Amino acid sequence: MPTTPFVPESFRVPELLMTDRVVLRPLTIHDLDADYDAVMSSIDHLRRSKPFGPGHDWPDTALSRDQDLVDLGWHQKEFQKRSSFAYTVMSLDNQICLGCVYLYPSSREPHDAMVILWVRESTVAEGLDEHLLRAVQDWVGRDWPFSNPGYPGRTSSWEQWERLSAR
């Protein structure tokens, strides 16, 4: 059964997004230390905010560095295969991981992409979550080939998302 590719073969996948507060670049295994620190320092926040939806309990409090490395390797490989795209959100000096952004094929009509993002707990009071969402919405609308990206848990609730027709 043929499937539609997530992005056209001719599409040049963006490698960078810079704002006045953050830098987004592809997430790789080389980001392990910074990513692991961001996740583990934000477990309570991530468990409450459920960036991947109410059915996910990520991150598990027992997440090990090795398990995080496997996750990063998986994201890196999917990026290379162009089947999904994971970006690390870094401080402007590229020293601190502030979160992540993921672009996945949508499983729900009428959306052609699903965009998930999370930020480190220590940045929430500074408004980074809202800043990142606005920047990513602008970026996806301007630089990506999607006609109707969805932002579940952001521009619609997860309950609304789940009620949409499955592809």
Q: Quick one: residue 139, left, alpha or beta (phi over 0 = left, psi -120 to 50 = alpha)? A: alpha
Range 17-163 has CATH code 3.40.630.30: yes
Ramachandran angles phi, psi of 139, nearest 5° = -65, -50
Domain boundaries, the chain: 17-163
Residue (of 84, 78, 83, 75) closest to 31 by Cα position: 75
Instruction: Give the tens place of pLDDT for each residue, 87-99.
Output: 999 999 999 999 9
Q: Can you give the C-alpha Rg of the chain in angstroms?
A: 15
Band of residue 3 on the pLDDT scale cut at 50, 70, 90? low
Band of residue 5 on the pLDDT scale cut at 50, 70, 90? confident
Q: Determine which helix (DSSP H) or strand (DSSP E) holds 52, and give its type and residue range.
A: none
Band of residue 2 on the pLDDT scale cut at 50, 70, 90? very low
Instruction: State yes or no: pLDDT of 1 exceeds 50.
Output: no
